[in-house]
Amino acid sequence: MSIIKIERRVLEKNDELAGQNRDLLSRHKIYSLNMVSSPGAGKTSLLERTLETFDGSLRVAVIEGDVQTDYDAQRVARYKVPVAQIVTHGGCHLEARLVRDALSEMELSNVELLIIENVGNLVCPANYDLGEDEKVVILSTTEGDDKPKKYPAMFRNASVLIINKMDLIPYVNCNPDTIKRNALDINPKLEILETSCTTSSGIAEWCEWLKGRVRMRRG
């Protein structure tokens, strides 16, 4: 069927461009992360806490992906890091081509860590390699503990799961142990961290994890 053939071609082309992005980032010894989640799970807040914690001690650059508006880029720019905003105008995920265009406008020689914040969508971004080293999936406790089973592709393709909004656990019907069990059923290799961007719990551990990844990449 022609639609499936075209879909396959789109993904092949995307993978080719993702490979080129990966080569470029690797040449600059940049460790890169693709942050994925539902809308409102806390990607931008986590990014803000992360940049606050590093406070310039790590050279970070950010690519913001949004369906509409540059609200997130504005929030991130307050932390004095280079930010490129991609507006997809309705598109439900970032693609390697868009990331390539953003990278072409960035001064990469000065970057150790690239964080790409994808469009808020727990389905579509799972299938699009951007050339990142790893995907981190952020799941908010308010979304419920059944989500890894209901949206398995994202949890299968991620290396790290951050369970965010841990401060809301007393008020919501969600057991973090059930999230973990469901997520590890889908992907037994998943590393799991717990954070709250409101109380800052877990943020130091997350930043340590990130620093470790950057150190490994710098050699």
Site residues (CB under 8 A) for its own copies? Answer: 2-3, 6, 10, 38-40, 66-69, 71, 90, 92, 119-124, 140, 142-144, 146-147, 149-153, 165, 167-168, 171-173, 198
Tokens 């590093």, residue? 54
Min dist CB 27 to its own copies, Å, is 31
Among residues 32 and 50, whose Cβ is nearest to its own copies? 50
Residues in contact with 119: Cβ distance below 8 Å, sequence separation at least 6, in sequence order:
65, 66, 67, 88, 91, 92, 93, 94, 125
Q: List the alpha helices (DSSP H) in 89-159.
A: 96-103, 147-150, 152-157
Min dist CB 1 to its own copies, Å, is 11
Among residues 97 and 211, whose Cβ is nearest to its own copies? 97
Min dist CB 41 to its own copies, Å, is 8
CA distance 98 to 62: 14
Min dist CB 143 to its own copies, Å, is 3
Q: What is the distance, to the nearest Å, from the Cα of residue 7 to the centroid of all Cα atoms in its chain?
A: 24
Among residues 132 and 145, whose Cβ is nearest to its own copies? 145
